[in-house]
Amino acid sequence: MAKILTEAAPIAGRASAATVYSRRRILWLRTRTALTERYFWLGVLGLAAFFAGWDLAYRLGLPRMEKLESPLSTFREFTLPPRGALTYDPAFESKWGYGIWSKAWYTDIGMSVWRISQAFVWSLLGIPLGLLMGWKRAIRDFVFAPFELMRPIPPISWVPLAIVMFPSQEAPIIFLCTIASFFAVTLNTLLGVDSIDPVYFRAARCLGSSEWQIFRHVIIPGAMPFIFTGLLIGLGVAWFSLVGGEIIAGTWGLGYRTMDAYMNVATAQLLIAMFTIGFIGMLMGVGLRVVQRRVLAWKAKAGETI
Amino acid sequence: MSDFLGLLATADIFHGLEAGTLERIAGACEERRFPRGAVVYRAGEAPDYLFILRKGAVSHPSLSGGSERTVRTPGEVFGIAAAAERMTRHAFTVTCLEETVVCAIPGARVREVLKGDPSGGDVVMRRVSTLAAEIETLASERGRGRLSIRAAGKVYDPEGARVVALEDCSFDVPAGGLCVVVGPSGCGKTTLLNAVAGFDHLTSGAICLDEQVIAAPGRELKPGPDRIVVFQHGALFPWKTVLDNITYGPLVQRKMKRKEAEERAKSLMEKVGLAGIESQYPGEISSGMRRRVEIVRALINDPKILLLDEPFRALDALTKSVMHEYLLELYDLSGKTIFFITHDLEEAIFLADLVVIMTTRPGRVKKLIPVDLPRPRNYRQLSSPRFLELKQQTIEGVHEEALKAFEAGERELA
């Protein structure tokens, strides 16, 4: 993204150094620049190569790969309606009925996203905890030992405990996701506070700040880049545990669907669920990065990569 | 004559006088021209003339109120002590910031004419006395910021390995003085500055700012806005815009409302040629500009003393020379005490009233060299015989220490 910005600059400069462009024009300029960039087309090429390699491996019947579906039949399965919905032509129907025509697919997405979102909100609690730990030595010393004891426990091994502790359907899954991302968020926030150059604390004291003002004006904004790193990592690991949790405790959701497809030996359905997870995870990451660029405008404008 | 009359009529202090009275004053007026950098009069000199500005700008507190340290509006008056009764000295030194034309009026003549004018003379006379008293007060406020360092010592003793960073260090910086401390790396200059700033404890001795002890063994560390540090690598908050950085001090101390602070910041920025970058982030501006913003961020708090820790070290030679002139201009305008650390000897002599040479570990005062080069200073003085003579003296002092530090370094390596 940072690159696109700098690449767009000469185009703007060509008109006149002082030209001010509308937002839409800037968006168009950026898009145009991106479309003429090599890295964009390399990305497209990489994606094409991935699917071509998969297809080839399937067609050649390479060991292990013959158990898969071909990308084309997976795509057909994903996009065609189930029998009887439109026609009875076997060439235009999906076998398992799991794809853009099925309610189940949307319900799964909705459930998983809803769970992830709740877990994400809960794990935001890691931000104040990390900030407090970074701010006051005593809080850190008090919290750090139990924190470090809990942190290495893999989220999956929380599953039985989660089911015992939360006797409902949703809560254990959300708890599992939260556990996973909470540690990532907290630890990165703490790291963020530690990363602040001590000179800013000195400068703030010199200018007459109280402890609280230092917290507000130095610690929070100074740790912000790391907080976002933590949130991105947290989001990623929340998806890990979501799938784990749904496999064990769910009746809906993309993770549950992968397990369900496995039980029914519906490989295409399994692949659809997997790629859906990948795609939605990617979208959420992109969304978070958009927010990040806004919040860390001071970094982006200074030409630093974020 | 008639244009003097016009000028007198626009001057606020003579408001209310009759045309005839003004004419009698105008009769004694003469025009004087000064080049940029010239001194109109010095603080402490006997006041003979008062002056009305015709063109240009001079460093003198504005009589029309506000915290302006420059007179630049035609018709403004300075040197009022000349017209007041029983004032025996000028309170400020007035230098010309650009080519300046003034109208000089003999103070005795003004008094004489005003006393003889029954219609409004006594009102003006009282006005003159009040203004003169105000200027005196301003001058005495300006006198704050005297730094005395008394037998200051600092021993770092983390694991029994006594490292003496500073030993029996004593000198004074008068209020409004510019003191530069030079010495090889590791001579304890930064330790000294940290003690003054309130970042680090002393293990012996004391440091006083005016009558107040600011550092002594066992004393609580208390950095504060009365002594602000400008850091070696800069410490503008990268997450705040330039304007937010500058207004930070007054706002967190709750000394000003946001609007007031922003106005003040903008006027300061305009004065030092920084207008137009208010909404930019520090990462977007050049390193020279960042330094200037940082100095403005310090000055807006009206500190007693400004502590500069090798602030121009990372700048290239050209930017550095511009920054020197810039700092001196701010120094002449603000009249703050400045405590400056460097290892650049030319920089030290060019800026300082007093150069303090420190010995290498343990850091002691080796030599105090008062610099008597006239102010305002400019780069022509770098080749003046007096400058070279002072430089020679300084080099002799420092070279020996640098050699010692170098040899000590060699031994540590071997």
Please tell me the predicted confidence (pLDDT) of residue B64.
65
**Which residue from B101, B123, B113 is spatially nearest to B51, judged by alpha carbons?**
B101
**Angstrom distance (rounded) from CA A176 to CA A127:** 18
Contact A206 B197 (CB under 8 A): yes
What SS3 class is residue B240? coil
Which amino acid would we find at residue B340? Answer: F
Share of chain B above pLDDT 70, in %: 94
Please tell me the predicted confidence (pLDDT) of residue B314.
79
Measured between CB atoms, does A209 come within 8 Å of chain B? yes
pTM (2 d.p.): 0.75
* Helical (H) or strand (E) element with B204: strand B204-209
Task: Say if CB A89 and CB A73 are below 8 A apart.
Answer: no
What does B347-360 look like in DSSP terms, one character per residue?
HHHHH-SEEEEE-S
Contact A209 B252 (CB under 8 A): yes
**Angstrom distance (rounded) from CA A50 to CA B398:** 68
Check pLDDT > 60 for residue A18.
no
pLDDT tens track for B310-342:
888 878 888 888 888 888 888 877 778 899 999
Measured between CB atoms, does A203 come within 8 Å of chain B? yes
What does B56-83 look like in DSSP terms, one character per residue?
S-EES--TTSSS--EE-STT-EE-GGGT
Residue of A nearest to B279 (CA): A298
Contact B228 A304 (CB under 8 A): no
Name the residue among B199, B225, B301 with its Cβ closest to that of A202.
B199
Check pLDDT > 80 for residue B403.
no
ipTM: 0.78
Average pLDDT, chain B: 83
pLDDT category at B25 given cuts 50, 70, 90 is: confident
Please tell me the predicted confidence (pLDDT) of residue B65.
57
**Burial tier of A167 (Cβ tally within 10 Å: 0-12, 13-18, 19+):** exposed
Rounded to a whole number of angstroms, the distance from the CA of A200 to the nearest CA of chain B is 6
User: Token pair 């491996």 is at which residue?
Assistant: A57
Check pLDDT > 50 for residue A17.
no
Choose the mutation target among A206, A216, A292 for the interface with B, i.e. most B CBs under 10 Å: A206
Who has greater pLDDT, B107 or B157? Answer: B107
Rounded to a whole number of angstroms, the distance from the CA of A306 to the nearest CA of chain B is 14
Check pLDDT > 80 for residue A176.
yes
